[in-house]
Structure 1
Amino acid sequence: MSTTLSTNRPSGGAPSEGDHPHRSPLTRLQHLLHAQATIGPAVVLLLAVIVFSLLSTRFLQPANISLVLQQVAVVGTIAVGQTIIILTAGIDLSCGAIMVLTSIVMAKVSAEHGLPGVLALLLGFLVGAGCGLVNGLLVTRLKLPPFIVTLGTLNVFFALNLWYSGSATIRGTDMPALLLWTGQTFTIGGTRVTYGSIGMVLLVALVAFVLKNTAWGRHIYATGDDAEAARLSGIRTNRVLLSAYGIAGVIYALSAWVLIGRIASASPQAGQLENLDSITAVVIGGTSLFGGRGAVVGSLLGALIVGVFRNGLALARVDVLWQTLAVGVLVIVAVSLDQWIRKVRP
């Protein structure tokens, strides 16, 4: 059934200034941020780069830029999947556990059972998709809140990870080269860039295109904006939600591949806090926790903002305690801004 819905999409929805000539500048800003969710994060990132480049001459050096990109690659990739879930007005606390579990599966079946790299990756993607579908089925069939579902599966997947790995790290020297490929680098203008970072950017571009230009993407926004209205208009919201969790699971498996290349091993303890970091990146990137508004490009900007802040503060010799506090303040400000933007009126 073909349907057309009016949703809070990131690329439109705000009336033009010509329609409301008496709006105050603050109201116009509110409408602009409502229509273009990535403007705010882009401005914050630009200001952060300028400030930290003034505070430290090392900040813009190629070696440091390379370090920031490598640090952002994992959380930036996993944030893509998290964005899809949050756009549906859900949340996924199990994403980090799924990533680590799939990394262990990929590494162990290749290192200990001799499976070729390509097949190990495919198996990892299947495991990631399966974990995501478990979350989706619990949300759609049992009608459980996504927060509760993924809080429970976070512990389930983490326990499976420890059981299957035996709490042992698998070294990169025991794996096929393909699993470590995302950690290899090439040079652009004196800056060493990993293939994992490039993969992250390509993934963001692909998912952004799909969300903006396909019926599935429009249904994701519609479901997050008002699930009941979407259902009444003919959208099979349960199928949309199930597909969102399944695709997010595959993306978490991709982030596992990036993680293996990043640390040149597969550790059952690595990346356990990526669930919180991914949510932080998505929120700072302008995606509404209430669903229906945001963009995956904003999540990439959010991940870069967190990476730039932590790196810049470290170069400025600010204690890790205050670095964490600064990121926490950013999250609170981002959520407060989202609440203000959501009050926009035509």
Structure 2
Amino acid sequence: MSKPVASNKETPDSSAKRSKRGHRLVRFEQDGELKIGLELSDGGDVLDIRAIDPSIPQEMWLFMRQREYDNGKIDCLNEDQRAVVKRSDIRLKAPLDHPEKIICIGMNYADHCTEQNIPIPKEPVIFSKFASALQDPDEPIYLENTEELDFEVELGVVISKSCRKVEESEAMDYVMGYTVAHDVSARDWQLKRNGGQWLLGKSFDTFCPLGPCIVTKESISDPHNLGIRCRVNGVTVQESNTSQMVHKVPFLISYISKFLTLNSGDLILTGTPPGVGCFRKPPMWLKAGDVVECEIDQIGSIRNTVEIRPHLHAEKLDN
């Protein structure tokens, strides 16, 4: 079922009602039920906002479309301790549900280009991942059909409302917030097979862990000055800062929207810093049992273990 197109226009009244207070939005599972909530601190307990106000949508994309209305209400709900859920009683899910598009930017860190000894791109290098690659922030990355499994920590940008041909100066009006993304890659399928097309090697199931939350833009001091890092088995393998981005977030949104409409809930992965496994000598490939942590300052971290995928019969996948 297609999602309704929301209007981009704001009235003076709606603009005045917009909250300037930031939030840490999460999707979580409790007793088998999927819910939306507010993480009260990084790694802390969660406020079940729909337990206080059931009119708040349960789906994150619907919530984002109604944010002008809901965000102000959430400010009032934020201190209501009756609906606080202990972190130990829930399981975090990927904070986005069914994004229409996952748009990725390649070679977008200056230090990553230097690592490869290639020129800094004059225009963004754009590719994509299928939404079925999404994985929860603490669930496994499955190792199958590849001998060259690689890691890439990235800053994810979540689009709040539909836009097309937006000016760079207005682009941040269309940002909901930021999240930590892991652009897992099968380098053999990305670079050596499938005719050189990147999509397949980027889109295996579980190849886009996301989380732990969406930090709304009001909470981030400067998205282009955040420490970003990846650890494998506790050892830091990527360490940089988003200041190294070649093409900044407003330019990326403006550039992409020249060609296609960005919709509420769309996700832009903004590129990875140096240190990925394929450019190491010798290459460093992930193996079963490895634990990968991706972390960005002011947002948080996700932690995924590499596992051999259990054998599933086709009939069991249809639920």
What TM-score do the two structures reach when normalised by structure 1?
Answer: 0.25
Q: Bigger relative contact order, structure 1 or 2, given CA contacts below 8 A and separation 6+?
A: 1
Instruction: Choose between structure 1 and 2: higher strand proportion.
Output: 2
Point out the structure with max Rg over C-alpha: 1
What TM-score do the two structures reach when normalised by structure 2?
Answer: 0.27
Instruction: Choose between structure 1 and 2: higher helix proportion.
Output: 1
